[in-house]
Every structure is written in C-alpha cells, then in structure tokens.
C-alpha cells in the first residue's frame, strides 16, 4: 500500500466510522486523531514526492475501455496536505464544547469526512476522467455540507449547485473535445496534442475549462454564489469550506491550464484585432477578482459574509501569482494558498467563537468584546494582519512575492489593482475587528465569557502557524517548492528568511526580529517613562460635550465608512446587487419552470408523448 492508499483508506474508514458512531461524544476527538494520522501520512509521502516521484494508488478501474487511475504528484501532495490540515483543525475545534452545542453534529462529522475523501480523490486524480469524477464528488459533497443546516443556507446552496452543474457541463464538454482529438483521457496525451491544436480549438478549450473550473473558485463573473453559500454553513464546516474547498477550483485551473496546456501556449494564444492573449485575459479576470469582491466585502454587515467575500478576493491574488508563472509568482501564489488557509481558518473560527458566545455575527450588534474574549481577539488580530498582508504575518510574504513578480514581469497596472485590493482589505478588516471587539460593550454582553480552550487552542495554533511562517517564510516556501516543480514552474531560490532577487530582497527574520525589538523598546519607553497611568471605566470618556452613560447606546459601527460608501456605494448597490438579484430571480424562475414540468397536472400529456414515442419506435422496426 502506498501513502496515497493509506490516505484514501483513512478517509473512507473515517467516513464509515462517522456513519456508525458519529453521535458519540468522543467522535470529534477520534476524527481529529484520524486527520492527524493523515497529516503524518502526507508528511511521509513528502520525501518521495519532493524527489520528483509520483505515488501511485491501488485504486483504479476501467470504464468503457478507459483506465481510470489516481496518483499523487507534488501539486496533489500540496493540496492534500492543506485538506488534511484544515480538516484536522476543524475537527479539533468541533470536538469539544462547540460540537456538543450543535444539533446535528453527527451529520457534520460525516460530511467533513466525505468532503475530505472527495477532495483527496480530486487533487490526486491521474487523468481527465478521474478529475471529472473527483470534481463532481467535491461539488456534491460541498453541496451537502452547505445545505445541511436548512434555513437561509438552502437557497444559497441550491444556487451553488446551479453554478456548479453548469460549470461541470462546461468541463465535461471540454474533456469530451480533448478525448475526440486525442482518443484518450490521459494528461500526457492532451499535453502532447496541445501544440498541434488550432487556435480556435484552443480558445474553445480555454473558455470551457476556465469558466467551468473557475466557477468553483468564484472568479469574477461567477463570484456571486460563494459568499451566501459558505457563510450560512455551520462554523467549523464553514471554516473548512473557506480554507480549502474554495481552492479546489484553483487547483483544477492550475492543473489544466498551467500544467497541461501551459502558460506559454496561453501567452501565445491571442485574440485577433485586440492582441490580448488568453493569459493576459485571465490575469485581468484575476485582478478584477481581487478588487471587486474585496470592496463588496467592505460593504457587508455580517462578519461571516465579510470574510467569505474576502476569501473570493484572495483567490484572485493566488491565481494572478500563478499566472505570472515565474519562480516568484508561482511561489507567491502557492504560498498564498497555504497562508490563506491558515489565517482564513483562524478568522472564521474566531468569528464562530463569537457566535457561540453571543449568538450573532451581525457587525451592528456587537462591540467591546475585547475585555470578555481576549484570546479570540488575539486570534482575530493575527488573522486580519495576515489577511491584510501586513508584516509580521505570513500573508505579507506571499503578497510581497506576488507584487515583486508583477513588477519583474512588467505589469504595473495589475500591480496597482493588487495594491488597491490590499488597501480595501485593510479598511474592511479594521471594520471587522472594531465592530466585534473594540468600541463599547453592549449591556447584554456584560456576562460573556471567553470561549472554552477546546475552541481557543486550535484558533491560536493556526494564528501561531501564521506568525511562524511569517517570521521564517522559508518553512512554507519549502512546501510550495514541491508543488511548483510539479507544475513545471521554476523553483524559487529562497532562504529560511525570505528571498534575494537582483532587484530587491526580503529577509523576514531581520524584519520581524527588528520589529519585535523595536516594539520592546517602545514598551520600555511607554511603560517605564513618564508618570503613572490609571485605568478608567469604559464609559468615562469625552464625546464632544455629551457625556456617555449606560442608557445612551453609542457605538459607531453601522455604515462604518460613510464617506467611502458615498463614493463606491452607488456602484455596489447599482450594478452588483442588481446583477446578483437578476441571477437569483433567473435561478428561481428556471427552478419553477422545471418543477412545473412534473408537478403541474400535465400527466396525461406526458403519457401521450410517451405513447407516441413508443409507437414511433415500434413502427420503425424497434420490435424486430
């Protein structure tokens, strides 16, 4: 048995185990142990994969004369690691009090195991057909996870399913075109055939794959489904979906467009008249994916929606870096996948902890929780520094690499877009932390306690990983190297502290150490010099002549950026919301029509049709 077989059988056994005894109080801890074992198996596979070997799986079967197989290469290894790691933290978080407070924890355990199995199958697929099978499995598993709670999640999940099925059809059409040309589903045969394809066929394949696979990662014209679908899912599952599930689309895009078709082909494939290559087109789509969802996030009033919208935006950074394709770009893009998984999961778990204690994630109904939930605050703070891409967290390093690669490849306008996206993120994450933890504590939250350690420990561990890989980014870059060489991108030469390029360097060990030392110096100046300070009550402050008292609720949280929303608000309300509503209405109408087909009493008509067709078939010699 290879390591991949171990991984698959762990996931399958866990799935069965959760079916049998997922209701048990210890189920969460058991699941956590199995995911931990999976992480060990991934680590064990790392040595072989990094040497350039692929790990085969015993799982394979033939269908219609085509052999389907699964194997693990560097790219699959990287995403398998993220999957197992995210599942580990999600189940750790759910193992204690949070899981016991859930109504249907068994279902969540089952669905998490199912998603992990499906995702491992997808990221280790050996040919186009097994990729498609994995793709469908992941779509349905994610749908089940989103729809589990009912309520507002169901229509969102249904909308996701419409997008996902449409995307899957596009992918399937692409695969069939490839099969009709090469006569096989193998990646190698496809890659070999690419140079001989005409530009018309290549454009068609590019459009089908980019749109079909891009749906799952919610690139810009297809970005509307993800935020409601992910946000309404219960906490730990939602954190898992956000951290890795959304990245499955990125994985498939990288596999098909970058590894198999190749950036060179995409770069040479240019639209007539305007001379825009397929690669440039996709880079601009990625750029808009960075900016538009980020500013939508800025306008959200629910912490979960805000984070999910940022997740969509962060996907743009990853895709952009990977499309640049240099060592810096691909390294930055893949490292961003890793970093994003750490901080987004920490952020989502922190928000879930707030929901667990206060019962809401409405940013207008929280405030001042820093004194009640300090560790959750610390986690959220580490998370937002990572999300905003500021030093000393790891998000800064990957964004720096992406910026650097854009500068080196002479793409200043894309870099401006990336910069604008980051600025929007800073505004939005401050709103997140301010409205939950800063400002005035609401009277009904006076008695709130910190979340239990079973929830706080995984959150802090994730924040700690984010800080460590920010201080020593070489640790994370060692992992991305393996994936990078697997997709044929140049490997990024790096040290433990960062990278040295001829046109500018980054050494995070120096940066973070100096920053910590300077903060220490600042602490000496502040705490030891000057007169003694004394703490006052929260309400003991000055409000322009009005004295605040407990009966005057005054927390500045609703419409946190009024000046800005006066500028970008009309855009948001005008185009985006209306478009979203239009698509929602269209989905509803289509759904009603479809329902009408079988629900309305047209049964005699259907029977008549069936009879006519049967008669036609019989008359035309079907009976012989």
Partner 1 sequence: MTLLADIVLMPLIAFVTGLALVLMARRVRARIERRVGPPVFQPVYDIVKLFTKKTQISHGVMHDLSIVLLLGGYITAEIFLPVPGFDGLAHQGDLLTLIYIMMVPMLGLALGVGSCANPNGSIGISRALTAMLAYDVPLAVAVIGATMTYGTTDLVKIVEIQQAGGVATWGAATMPLLAIGGYLAVHGMFGKEPFEIYIAPAEIATGPMVEMSGKYMGALFVMQCFQLYTIGVLYVTLFLGGGENWPAFLLKVFAVVFVSIAVTNVYGRYRTDKVVRWMWKWPTGIALVGLMLVLARQGA
412-418 long-range contacts, CB within 8 A, separation 24+:
414/283, 414/284, 414/287, 414/320, 417/287, 417/288, 417/290, 417/291, 418/287, 418/290, 418/317, 418/320
* Calpha distance 619→356 (Å, rounded): 67
Residues 427-446 within binding reach of partner 1 (CB under 8 A):
427, 430, 433-434, 437-441
* Calpha distance 127→63 (Å, rounded): 13
Compute the least distance from the CB of residue 476 to partner 1, in Å: 18
Residues 465-524 within binding reach of partner 1 (CB under 8 A):
503-507, 510-511, 514-516, 518-523
Compute the least distance from the CB of residue 280 to partner 1, in Å: 15
Q: Check residue 254 and report its DSSP letter.
A: I
Q: Tell me if 554 contacts partner 1 by CB under 8 A.
A: yes
Nearer to partner 1, 70 or 295 (CB): 295
Among 196, 527, 619, 623, binds partner 1 (CB under 8 A): 527
Residues 332-371 within binding reach of partner 1 (CB under 8 A):
368, 370-371
Q: Tell me if 536 contacts partner 1 by CB under 8 A.
A: yes
Among 16, 543, 611, 613, binds partner 1 (CB under 8 A): 543
| DSSP-derived 3-state class of residue 270 | strand
Q: Tell me if 547 contacts partner 1 by CB under 8 A.
A: no
Nearer to partner 1, 229 or 415 (CB): 415
Q: Tell me if 450 contacts partner 1 by CB under 8 A.
A: no
Compute the least distance from the CB of residue 398 to partner 1, in Å: 13
First to last CA, the chain: 51
Q: Tell me if 526 contacts partner 1 by CB under 8 A.
A: yes
Among 1, 529, 593, 600, binds partner 1 (CB under 8 A): 529
Nearer to partner 1, 200 or 410 (CB): 410
- Nearest CA to 485 out of 277, 288, 334, 284 is that of 334
The answer to whether 77 and 253 are in contact (CB under 8 A) is: no
**Other C-beta atoms within 10 Å of 587: how many?**
17
Among 424, 458, 466, 473, binds partner 1 (CB under 8 A): 424
Give the contacts of 464 (CB within 8 A, at least 6 positions apart): none
Compute the least distance from the CB of residue 327 to partner 1, in Å: 17
Query: Quick one: which segment of 99-107, 270-278, 556-564, 585-593 binds partner 1 (CB under 8 A)?
Result: 556-564
Residues 287-316 within binding reach of partner 1 (CB under 8 A):
none
Compute the least distance from the CB of residue 478 to partner 1, in Å: 20
* Calpha distance 485→465 (Å, rounded): 24
Among 137, 165, 201, 426, binds partner 1 (CB under 8 A): 426
Number of residues near partner 1 (by CB under 8 A): 79
Among 150, 271, 541, 570, binds partner 1 (CB under 8 A): 541
Among 65, 151, 200, 410, binds partner 1 (CB under 8 A): 410
Nearer to partner 1, 476 or 511 (CB): 511
Compute the least distance from the CB of residue 494 to partner 1, in Å: 14
Helical axes 394-408 vs 303-324, angle rounded to 10° = 40
Residues 379-408 within binding reach of partner 1 (CB under 8 A):
381, 385, 388-391, 396, 400, 403-404, 407
Residues present in the chain in total: 624
Residues 564-593 within binding reach of partner 1 (CB under 8 A):
564, 566-567
Nearer to partner 1, 151 or 412 (CB): 412
Nearer to partner 1, 274 or 567 (CB): 567
Nearer to partner 1, 221 or 504 (CB): 504
CA distances 359 to 98, 366, 415, Å, are: 12, 10, 40
CA distances 557 to 180, 275, 387, Å, are: 58, 47, 21
Assigned token pair, 548 = 């605040």
* Calpha distance 171→540 (Å, rounded): 61
Compute the least distance from the CB of residue 535 to partner 1, in Å: 5
Query: Quick one: which segment of 38-46, 304-312, 548-556, 611-619 binds partner 1 (CB under 8 A)?
Result: 548-556
The answer to whether 247 and 341 are in contact (CB under 8 A) is: yes
Q: Tell me if 538 contacts partner 1 by CB under 8 A.
A: yes
Any idea what the Cα angle at residue 304 is, between residues 252 and 577, rounded to 5°? 80
Q: Tell me if 419 contacts partner 1 by CB under 8 A.
A: yes
* Calpha distance 499→508 (Å, rounded): 9
Nearer to partner 1, 510 or 606 (CB): 510
The answer to whether 303 and 361 are in contact (CB under 8 A) is: yes
Compute the least distance from the CB of residue 281 to partner 1, in Å: 19
Give the contacts of 293 (CB within 8 A, at least 6 positions apart): 218, 220, 223, 227, 309, 310, 312, 313, 316
Question: Pairing mode, if any, of strands 55-63 and 66-72?
Answer: antiparallel
3-state SS, one letter per residue, for 338-385: HHHHHHHHHHHHHHHHHHHHHCCCEHHHCCCHHHCCHHHHHHHHHHHH
Among 151, 200, 447, 544, binds partner 1 (CB under 8 A): 544
Q: Tell me if 562 contacts partner 1 by CB under 8 A.
A: yes
Among 151, 272, 534, 593, binds partner 1 (CB under 8 A): 534
Q: Tell me if 604 contacts partner 1 by CB under 8 A.
A: no
Helical axes 74-95 vs 105-123, angle rounded to 10° = 170
């Amino acid at each position: 048995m290879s390591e991949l077989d171990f991984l698959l059988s762990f996931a399958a056994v866990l799935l069965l185990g959760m079916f049998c005894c997922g209701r048990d109080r210890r189920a969460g801890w058991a699941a956590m142990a199995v995911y931990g074992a999976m992480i060990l198996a991934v680590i064990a596979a790392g040595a072989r994969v990094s040497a350039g070997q692929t790990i085969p799986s015993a799982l394979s079967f033939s269908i219609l004369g085509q052999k389907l197989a699964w194997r693990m290469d560097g790219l699959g290894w990287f995403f398998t690691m993220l999957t197992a790691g995210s599942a580990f933290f999600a189940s750790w978080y759910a193992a204690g009090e949070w899981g016991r407070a859930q109504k249907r924890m068994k279902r969540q355990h089952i669905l998490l195991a199912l998603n992990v199995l499906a995702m491992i199958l997808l990221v280790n697929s050996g040919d186009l057909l097994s990729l498609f099978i994995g793709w469908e499995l992941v779509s349905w598993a994610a749908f089940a996870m989103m729809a589990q709670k009912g309520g507002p999640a169901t229509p969102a999940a249904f909308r996701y399913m419409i997008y996902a099925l449409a995307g899957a059809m596009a992918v399937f059409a692409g695969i069939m075109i490839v099969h009709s040309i090469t006569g096989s589903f193998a990646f190698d045969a496809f890659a070999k055939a690419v140079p001989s394809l005409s530009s018309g066929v290549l454009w068609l394949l590019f459009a089908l794959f980019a749109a079909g696979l891009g749906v799952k990662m919610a690139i810009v014209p297809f970005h509307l489904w993800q935020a409601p679908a992910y946000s309404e899912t219960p906490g730990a599952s939602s954190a898992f979906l956000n951290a890795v599930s959304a990245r499955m689309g990125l994985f498939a895009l990288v596999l098909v467009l970058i590894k198999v078709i190749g950036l060179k082909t995409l770069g040479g494939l240019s639209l007539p008249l305007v001379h825009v290559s397929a690669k440039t087109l996709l880079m601009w789509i990625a750029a808009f994916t960075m900016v538009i969802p980020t500013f939508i996030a800025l306008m959200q009033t629910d912490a979960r929606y805000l984070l999910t919208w940022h997740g969509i935006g962060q996907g743009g950074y990853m895709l952009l870096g990977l499309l640049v394709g240099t060592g810096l770009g691909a390294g930055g893009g893949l490292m961003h996948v890793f970093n994003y998984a750490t901080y987004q999961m920490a952020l989502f778990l922190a928000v879930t902890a707030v929901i667990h204690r206060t019962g809401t994630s409405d940013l207008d109904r929280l405030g001042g929780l820093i004194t009640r939930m300090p560790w959750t605050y610390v986690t959220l703070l580490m998370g937002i520094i990572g999300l905003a891409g500021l030093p000393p967290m790891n998000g800064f390093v990957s964004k720096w690499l992406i910026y650097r690669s854009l500068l080196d490849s002479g793409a200043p306008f894309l870099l401006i877009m990336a910069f604008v996206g980051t600025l929007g993120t800073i505004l939005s994450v401050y709103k997140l932390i301010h409205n939950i933890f800063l400002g005035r504590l609401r009277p009904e939250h006076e008695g709130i306690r910190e979340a239990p350690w079973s929830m706080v420990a995984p959150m802090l561990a994730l924040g700690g990983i984010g800080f460590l890989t920010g201080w020593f980014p070489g640790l994370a870059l060692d992992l991305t190297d393996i994936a990078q060489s697997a997709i044929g991108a140049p490997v990024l030469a790096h040290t433990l502290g960062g990278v040295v390029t001829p046109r500018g360097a980054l050494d995070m060990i120096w940066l973070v150490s100096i920053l910590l030392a300077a903060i220490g110096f600042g602490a000496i100046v502040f705490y030891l010099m000057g007169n003694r300070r004394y703490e006052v009550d929260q309400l003991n402050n000055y409000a322009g002549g009005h004295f605040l008292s407990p009966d005057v609720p005054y927390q500045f949280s609703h419409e946190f950026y009024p000046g800005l929303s006066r500028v970008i608000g009309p855009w948001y309300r005008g185009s985006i919301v209306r478009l979203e509503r239009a698509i929602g209405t269209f989905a509803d109408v289509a759904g009603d029509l479809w329902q009408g087909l079988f629900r309305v009493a047209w049964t005699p008509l259907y029977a008549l049709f069936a009879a006519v067709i049967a008669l036609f078939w019989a008359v035309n010699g079907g009976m012989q």
